[in-house]
Amino acid sequence: MPSSRLASRVLVGLAVYGALFYAWFTAIVGFIEHDPDRRAILWMTGGLIVVWIVLGGMLMRLGRARFAAWVGRLRLGWRTRFVLLCILMALLEEAVTTGLTNLAPWFGGVTDAARITASKNYLEVVCLHSVVVFVPMFVAWAVILSFFDFAPVEVMLLYGLTGWLAEWMTFGSDNIGMVGMWTFVYGLMVWLPAWTVPRGRHVRPARWWMWPIAAVGPLFAGIPFVPVVLLVRWLIGYQG
């Protein structure tokens, strides 16, 4: 079976699992949870799924060919273009999550604990928490694609798993069961940019043993930047 077809089937399986897991979890929490902030977080998470994964994913799928053709006319090296587009997509995703966090009262949240981002301030989120650490991971993927031929769907799956691993490592084992959601949240940051990578470039086929390396390797690219971000937070007196 071609690896791109396998990646597609894995993503379909994760989508089905993620939908069932969220439906089950929502039913359980809706029945036993009385904390309004926790309930608000659940609805904000649902909002992220609808806005970013379902609607955003549909728009990306419908416009991918036209987008790739337009971007291909830009006078930038494909690696630079890929990294910049990944950053743009990550910024858009965090705009969705931060926007939902600021709508917490609409979802029934009553305290500052009702949020799905580290801060309600968008610049704090992207500059001191998330996107700043994603950048070296995107660069790592540009390097990987310089040597190996991964299809866009494979890039989506593997970086999505990288994001899930990062969430698990950072925020604990509660995220293990959320592999379906996190794979799509992170995977959609790189899927559309991967369509702009030129076909027919001189690279080697990506063998099966490259999949775990490509899923875990970008984490090691991002880890050295974490102490830098923590130092910057300390220098500016940021307490978030």
Map out the domains of the chain as residue ranges.
Answer: 3-236
Q: Which pLDDT tens digit goes with each residue over 26-41?
A: 888 777 778 889 889 9
Is residue 186 predicted with pLDDT exceeding 90?
yes
Calculate the CA 19 to chain-centre distance: 17
> Using CA atoms, how far apart are residues 80 and 72, in angstroms rounded to an integer?
12
Percent of the chain's residues with pLDDT above 90: 64
Mean pLDDT of the chain: 91
Is residue 2 predicted with pLDDT exceeding 70?
no
Count Cβ atoms below 10 Å from residue 84 Cβ, excluding itself. 16
> Using CA atoms, how far apart are residues 12 and 152, in angstroms rounded to an integer?
15
Q: The whole model's pTM is what?
A: 0.93
Mean pLDDT of 37-55: 93
Percent of the chain's residues with pLDDT above 70: 99
Q: What's the confidence (pLDDT) of residue 174? A: 77
Q: What's the confidence (pLDDT) of residue 149? A: 93
Instruction: Name the phi and psi angles at 59, rounded to 5.
Output: -65, -40
Mean pLDDT of 49-69: 94
Q: What's the confidence (pLDDT) of residue 223? A: 85
Helix (H) or strand (E) holding 159: helix 152-171
CB 113 within 8 A of CB 37: yes
